[in-house]
């Protein structure tokens, strides 16, 4: 009975969710299908680890979702479909992330602003920067058939 108490309930829940996922979709019963799932989940896992460090330290970071939006928009606009610009885009978004993190950290530590307030201001500012940088519109490259299908689905929703 003592050994059961030492098992982390989050691990049990994770295993139950994975088992349900595998049972519901035969795709995840194959090694390539499960690897595909892990590759898609990796960015979210990395983000969660970073957020966990902030929470464990007693702070909040509300700006991380907006920063992801800015980074994705930045990569798309910098590369503009040109694979040779990939490393330039990666370096630029690393610099953006470092700058935002440094600014948030300095506001919290030096100006003594509570982290929830500082990162809420960061969230709004970053979303504004992303909106200005993208011109306030979505940029998607989509086949005409896909665009027609999406327009038809949107018309049904109205």
Q: Indicate the domain borders of the chain.
A: 1-43, 54-139
pLDDT tens profile 82-126: 889 999 999 999 999 999 999 999 999 999 999 999 999 999 999
Q: Per the confidence metrics, is the pTM higher than 0.75?
A: no
| pLDDT value, residue 25 | 87
Pair 89, 74: CB distance under 8 Å = yes
Of 67, 66, 58, nearest in space to 116 by CA: 58
d(CA 27, CA 33): 5
**Better-predicted residue by pLDDT, 54 or 145:** 54
Residue 54: other Cβ atoms inside 10 A: 15
158 pLDDT band, cuts 50/70/90, is: very low
SS3 per residue for 59-127: CCCCCHHHHHHHHHHHHHHHHCCCHHHHHHHHHHHHHHHHHHHHHHHHHHHCCCCCHHHHHHHHHHHHH
| Average pLDDT of the segment spanning 17-37 | 89
Q: Does the pLDDT at position 157 exceed 80?
A: no
Residue 21 reports pLDDT greater than 60: yes
Cα dihedral: 34, 38, 40, 44 (round 10): 150
């Amino acid at each position: 009975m003592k050994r059961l108490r030492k098992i982390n309930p989050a691990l049990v829940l994770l295993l139950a969710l994975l088992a349900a996922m595998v049972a519901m979709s035969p795709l995840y019963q194959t090694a390539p299908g499960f690897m595909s799932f892990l590759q898609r989940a990796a960015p979210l896992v990395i983000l969660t680890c970073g957020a966990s460090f902030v929470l464990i330290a007693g702070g909040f970071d509300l700006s991380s979702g907006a920063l992801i939006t800015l980074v994705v928009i930045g990569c798309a606009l910098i590369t503009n479909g040109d694979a040779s610009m990939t490393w330039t885009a990666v370096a630029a978004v690393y610099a953006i992330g470092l700058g935002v993190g440094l600014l948030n950290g300095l506001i919290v530590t030096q100006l003594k602003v509570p982290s929830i307030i500082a990162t809420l201001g960061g969230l709004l500012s970053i979303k504004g920067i992303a909106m200005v940088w993208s011109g306030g519109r979505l940029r998607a490259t989509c086949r005409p058939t896909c665009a027609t299908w999406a327009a038809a689905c949107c018309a049904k929703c109205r």
